[in-house]
Amino acid sequence: MIKTALFKKYRTNEFIQFISNTLMIVKEHGADKLKVKAAYSSLNKHHQQLAEAYKQATQSEITPQLAKLDDQRDEAIICLRQICEGYTNHHQEEKRMAGQTILNCIAKYGNRLYNLNYSAETTALKNLASDLLTEPECLAAVQTVHMEEVVTYMQTTNQQFEELFIQRLKEASQLETMTMTERSQLTADVYRSLVQHVQAHATLSPSELYTGFINHLNENIEYFNQLVDRRKRGEQPDVTAINEEVRATPLEA
């Protein structure tokens, strides 16, 4: 049985590398022998188109600016969280409570906001900043632990990121008739078709060829799924084959 690849959780560069690995595995075992030559050719075509679109997107002058702003807003939320965690051990009850109030506010949007895709993080930080600066209890807590500057910086960099991200989407729409997400979805569909063909042949005509291929493919799937697991735990993923673009909108399953 071929394992399920967690496409919803893969970033664009990870997905492209995953498909690239899949194509190499099919080639190694023989597309003709596996009886998936047509599916292999189709997947190869869509992979090339996706990789080229990704390359064009990463060459945009806006991309490094987005990455810088993303790092800055990530640093702000991490700073805010870590300092407030420290305040929960403060000897003054007022500051302990203030630290916990802010942490509770952050927790409403998730404990690892910096691991969300770009759009999701933008929305979460926008709402979080609004809560911290407008809700009386939260604002009082922010003032008690003197985090006004950090929260304002987080809000400002997030706003700048959102404006630039919209600008980049506009730029991309002028160059591309199909979005990155649409290309990724289409490529994922072709991959699933290839997998279905393999599983059908392996069921009707079981052999060492299909067993070896499926085991090899599952190793690739498990590797990329583990990247997702490590990211959830806050560990750095180690996919380096293609430079990181925007943390793309997660793919549909």
pLDDT in tens, 177-235: 567 888 899 999 999 999 999 999 999 999 999 999 999 999 999 999 999 888 877 66
Residues 104 and 193 in one domain: no
Does residue 187 sit in helix, strand or coil? helix
Q: What is the pLDDT of residues 88-111, one digit of tens each?
A: 999 999 999 999 999 999 999 988
Three-state DSSP at 27 gives helix
Residue 44 belongs to some domain of the structure: yes
pLDDT in tens, 8-57: 889 889 999 999 999 999 999 999 999 999 999 999 999 999 998 888 77
Q: Percentage helix, strand, coil, to 5, in the chain?
A: 75, 0, 25
Same domain, 166 and 149: yes
**Crossing angle of the two packed helices 136-144 and 93-107, in degrees rounded to 10:** 130
Q: Are residues 114 and 182 in the same domain?
A: no
93 and 69 in a common domain:
yes
User: Is residue 186 one of the residues assigned to a domain?
Assistant: yes
Instruction: Tell me: do 155 and 145 sit in the same domain.
Output: yes
* Whether residue 165 is found in the same domain as residue 69: yes
- Looking at the fold, whether 167 and 186 belong to one and the same domain comes out as no
What residue numbers bound the domain in which 108 lies?
A: 62-174
- Residue 4 near residue 236, CB atoms below 8 Å: no
Q: Is residue 72 part of a domain?
A: yes
Residues 81, 158: one domain?
yes
Q: Left if phi > 0, otherwise alpha if psi is -120 to 50, otherwise beta: which for 2?
A: beta
Looking at the structure, do residues 107 and 209 belong to the same domain, yes or no? no
Cα separation values, 112 from 155, 198, 238, Å: 17, 38, 19
Provide the phi-psi class of 110: left if phi over 0, else alpha when psi is between -120 and 50, else beta: left
Residue 174: predicted pLDDT:
57
Same domain for 109 and 24? no
Please report, rounded to a whole number, the percentage of residues in the chain having pLDDT higher than 70.
89
Do 192 and 88 lie in a common domain?
Answer: no
How many domains are contained in the chain? 2
Is 95 domain-assigned?
A: yes
User: Are residue 133 and residue 223 in the same domain, yes or no?
Assistant: no
